[in-house]
Structure 1
Amino acid sequence: MARWQGVIALLLLIIISYVDRVNISVMILNPEFAAHFQLNENRMLQGMLMTCFLLGYGFSALLLTPVIESRWHYRQGLLSSIAIWALVCAISPLLGSLLGMLIARIDLGVAEGPLFSLKTRFINDNFAADEIGKPNALTALGVSLGLAVGFPLVTWLMAHVGWIGSFYALALLNLLLGGGLIWRFLPAPQVTSQRAKPGFSQTFALAWRTPLLGWILLVEIATLSYLWGNSAWLPAWLRDEHHFSLQATGLLAAVPFLLSLGSKFLGGVLLDKMRPEQAPLLFIIGGLLTAGSVLALMLSQQPAMLALFMLAANVFWGLQGAAIPVVVQHHAPREAVGSAYGIINGIGNICAAFIPLLMGVVDEIGGIGQFRFFRSGGIAADHAVRRRRTAAAYASRSSSKRVYTLNKLQDKTASRFEQRLRWPRKDEAQGWADLLPTPMQLEV
């Protein structure tokens, strides 16, 4: 019973941590917050806030986890991390510059970095090899629940206590609820069961020798890129592209992640029924279905189909959520399970860290309407489709078989030309004017 209490405590802690992670995604929509930190609707700077967090998180998971695993108990490591989360949240409103907030986001990432690695170590120490699927799936639900709760919760806090009060409320949530759960329900270290631990260097070296490490790492990078690209910009996309209110944006942004809850738990149940060597099948099935849904999303134009494929992608993405830690637990050396997962989670987050920033850059250049394409790596395909449409449109105008050169036309002819030529509407042309031919090339 105590081990399941520990799993529930870790689930709730992960939910709290994800509220912390996505609060910036909602706060950047608040004009007062944006003005205080000189964001000024600059999507690149807004994306940098999430990127800085993920960089700190990734390097911490990669390098700090072996230190904690070789010297401390997972309970001690988590309590120390929670204290730093609360402190960073409490001082964030006092910072007066964007640079200060970027540093605070890095610090928050460093503090949260070891969380999933220590969670993986706890499950590995307290559950048999044929039992680890369900606890991994249950704790993986914290990702979706944290995002589903985080968007509307931060929206509600900003509406009632402002963005400054929201930071203080989250600091108390971290310290009292998160810290209290770990203090009360996560088992304390047992002196009689302690064994000699390898040092940092040996633990780190053992972790790097985990079989299938490279393949698992590739799956983690793809999974986290989808997660952070989706969660970082979904609220802004709903507000700016579809003109929802701030309250509606918070609720709607939670829906895709709520739907992934069932698929995540289903993945855990399936993992307990599979042999260890069959676990990677969930990567293949979940990955292919997610990729297919995203591809269909890229090619869809109808709002109903966009919503359907966006929700389907999240459901299939959730199916493989528990598979990554399970595969690590099956293959990593027992003394370095947490560090092996730290390597995978750390490098995965470092690579995925640049997705919010790159999406902000693309949005700054081409408009947030291209959000759904870049999120899935489809910006090049989008431009190719637009080029084909542009070429077809102008080809249809060449039936008169007369080519005019504008700088040779008299004023009267130029006026007739402008009347006959149907230019694209402003909203059609915005963001891809660079793809249009010059007036010298037009055929009418």
Structure 2
Amino acid sequence: MIATEHPLNPAQGSVADSEPVRWSIPLALFACVLLAFFDKVSIAALFSDTHFQQAMGLNFDTTRLGLLLSAFLLSYGCSSMLLSGLGDRVDPLKLLSGLMVLWCLLMLAMGLCHSYRIMLLLRITLGVAEGPLFPLAFAVVRHNFPRHLQARATMLWLLGTPLGAAIGFPLSLFILNHFGWQWTFFCMSLLTVPVLVCIRLALRNLKRGEVSPALARPRRMARSVLYRNGHFWLICLFNIAFLTYLWGINGWLPSYLVEGRGINLGQVGWLSSLPFIAMLIGEGVGAWISDRIDRRALACFISLAGAALGLLTVLHLRQTGLLITAMSVSTFLWGAGAPNIFALLAKATPPEVSATAGGIFNGLGNVAGALAPLVMGMLIASTHSMDSGLMFLVVMAALGCVLLLPLLQRY
């Protein structure tokens, strides 16, 4: 199989070093990712709420609760793969604006919903609407930033992931405790408006990766190179393990603290945010270091291996402070790898099909990662132990590290 590194230069889809850098672009994308992550995790904050369970006809059925998140992720992943090519063809500003309007309407509908089946359908539709976001952001940054700044630019918009979880969980719990479960969705819908304004202002006149006819390969040829690139598929498989960790933690951390460790519900809001704050810090540190040493595969390997060791430590702790500390170390190490995995993808794939590569990469990871909350819910239900869910994440992380071994020297 072909496994060629594709260095970026002005003719290959990124800006020249001498051109001014528009940091407003990743900052606006950060706001968009932050909002999208609020939409994703708000449902997990409701898993332990009796009023929400009664409205949906549930009785802490962990399998059906996990399905609400897994169904979203499954449709999100499929959408990311099937619709990502739009980012190579449609103006990013028009595409993203239309998607955000749809997010707003769907969150409003969720707040009005009193049926589990309808809620499940709305979550699936939201997944389809949010699917193109990450490949689109990846392509925008790749085409508008020089190579030596891409990890840091990627880090800026990726910060929306851990910050969205760090703020989203306690924010959702605050709204839940003071206004009820429906307003957790209504507030997310209202937040879409100012973020859409930011996107409309920052993403005007973007570079879209056009190259001279003499140097550009037809996209069909570039896609053929991409599909025959063995290293690209290894990176995609590694990303499955990488995102399994993320969605497993996002889906079950609040319930793990409450049901598995007996921590007071009033404490969970700020306690559950600490690991995601650590993840945010890890992303910044990881991007800064990796842009200097340019060892993307090694950074990703250390990141996921360290995250797995952190979870193993959590399983053997009982004191709340130590448990949260170990969980935070684990998420910090995971965060250090997050911007690097996109930079690793950029090194191993043709620039002409950035959105397509990003869509397959992100879509496969989320389709498989979608199963994590569901599998964890089934394991918890069958073993009657919340620890079995974390052990599943440890095993998946170990498998991901093994898959990355052939790439450590090349990238």
Per the shorter chain, which TM-score range?
Answer: 0.7 to 0.9
**Which amino acid counterpart does residue 56 of structure 2 have in structure 1?**
F
Q: Residue 328 in 1 paired to residue 351 in 2?
A: no
For residues 135-163 of structure 1, the C-alpha deviation after alignment (integer angstroms, 9 at most, x for no partner) is 11222211110000100111111223221
What are the superposed Cα offsets for residues 97-145 of structure 1, whole Å, 9 maximum, x if unpaired? 2111111111111111111111111111111112212111222211110
2:313: which partner in 1? 296
Does structure 2 conserve the Cα–Cα contact (< 8 Å) formed by 1:156 and 1:247?
no
- Among 240, 243, 267, the alignment partner of 1:248 is 267
Indicate whether 1:61 and 2:80 are aligned.
Answer: yes
The aligned residue for residue 146 of structure 2 is 128
Instruction: State the one-letter code of the partner of 1:5.
Output: S
Q: Is the 8 A contact 1:217 1:348 kept in 2?
A: yes
Q: Secondary structure at the match of 1:312?
A: helix
Asked if 1:273 corresponds to 2:273, the answer is: no
CA distance in 2 between partners of 1:106 and 1:9 (Å): 25
Counterparts of 1:59 and 1:212, CA distance in 2 = 22
| Cα displacement (A) at 1:373 | 3.7
Alignment partner, residue 31 of structure 1: 50
TM-superposed CA distance for 1:87, in Å, is: 1.1
For the Cα contact (< 8 Å) 2:240–2:365, is it kept in 1?
A: yes
The one-letter code of the counterpart of 2:133 is L
Looking at structure 1, the residues matched to 345 and 373 of structure 2 have their Cα atoms a distance apart, in angstroms, of: 27
Partner residue in 1 for 2:183:
165
* 1:250 aligned counterpart, secondary structure: helix
Q: Residue 50 and residue 198 in structure 1: after superposition, are their counterparts in 2 closer, same or farther (change >3 A)?
A: farther
User: Are 1:345 and 2:362 matched, yes or no?
Assistant: yes
Q: 1:152 aligns with which of 167, 170, 192?
A: 170
Residues 270 and 211 of structure 1: is their aligned pair in 2 closer, same or farther, counting only changes over 3 Å? farther
Are 2:275 and 2:324, in contact at CA under 8 Å, matched by a contact in 1?
A: no
Question: Who is 1:308 aligned against?
Answer: 325
Whole-Å Cα distance in 2 between the matches of residues 244 and 159 of structure 1? 17
Q: 1:219 aligns with which of 238, 262, 265?
A: 238
Structure number with larger C-alpha Rg: 1
The CA distance in 1 between the partners of 2:208 and 2:43, in whole Å, is 41
**Alpha-carbon spacing, 1:90–1:199, altered in 2? closer, same or farther (3 Å):** farther
Please show how residues 16-415 of structure 1 align to structure 2 within 5 Å. Answer: 16-66=35-85, 68-174=86-192, 176-189=193-206, 205=224, 207-210=226-229, 212-275=231-294, 278-371=295-388, 373-377=390-394
1:244-281 CA-partner distances (Å, limit 9, x unpaired): 44442122111101012222111111222134xx3211
Q: Aligned to 1:320, what secondary structure does the other structure show?
A: helix
In the TM superposition, residue 302 of structure 1 has moved relative to its aligned partner by 4.9
Residue 10 of structure 1 corresponds to: 29
The one-character-per-residue Cα deviations of 1:142-190 (angstroms, maximum 9, x if unpaired) are: 111000010011111122322112211111112x122111111122357
What secondary structure does 1:41 align onto?
A: coil
Percent identical: 28
Whether the aligned pair in 2 keeps the contact of 1:211 and 1:331 (CA below 8 Å) is no
Higher RCO, Cα 8 Å, sep 6+? 2
| Cα pair 1:203 1:339 within 8 Å, conserved | no
Structure 1 unaligned residues grouped into runs of 5+: 380-444
Amino acid at match of 1:169: C
Matching residue's letter, 1:347: L
Per the alignment, do residues 328 and 355 of structure 1 end up closer, same or farther by CA in structure 2, a change over 3 Å counting?
A: same
Which residue of 2 is the match for residue 401 of structure 1?
none
CA gap of 1:105–1:204, structure 2 versus 1, over 3 A, is: farther
Q: How high is the TM-score relative to the length of structure 1?
A: 0.78
8 Å contact kept, 2:38–2:168: yes
Q: Deviations over 1:408-438 (max 9, x none)?
A: xxxxxxxxxxxxxxxxxxxxxxxxxxxxxxx
- Measure how far apart 1:65 and its partner are: 0.5
In structure 2, distance between residues paired with 1:204 and 1:49: 34
Deviates more, 1:338-347 or 1:238-247: 238-247
1:184 aligned partner, one-letter code = L
Q: Deviations over 1:300-328 (max 9, x none)?
A: 45545433321211111111111111112
- 1:376 match: secondary structure: helix
Structure 2 CA distance, aligned partners of 1:325 and 1:292?
23
Q: Which runs of 5+ in 2 are unaligned?
A: 1-19, 397-411
How many aligned positions are there? 375
| Mapped contact 2:312–2:394 kept (Cα < 8 A) | no
User: 2: distance between equivalents of 1:199 and 1:112?
Assistant: 28
* 1-structure distance, mates of 2:44, 2:140: 31
C-alpha distance in 2 between matches for 1:200 and 1:30: 49
SS of equivalent to 2:60: coil
TM-score (norm 2): 0.84
**Cα distance in structure 2, aligned partners of 1:195 and 1:73:** 19
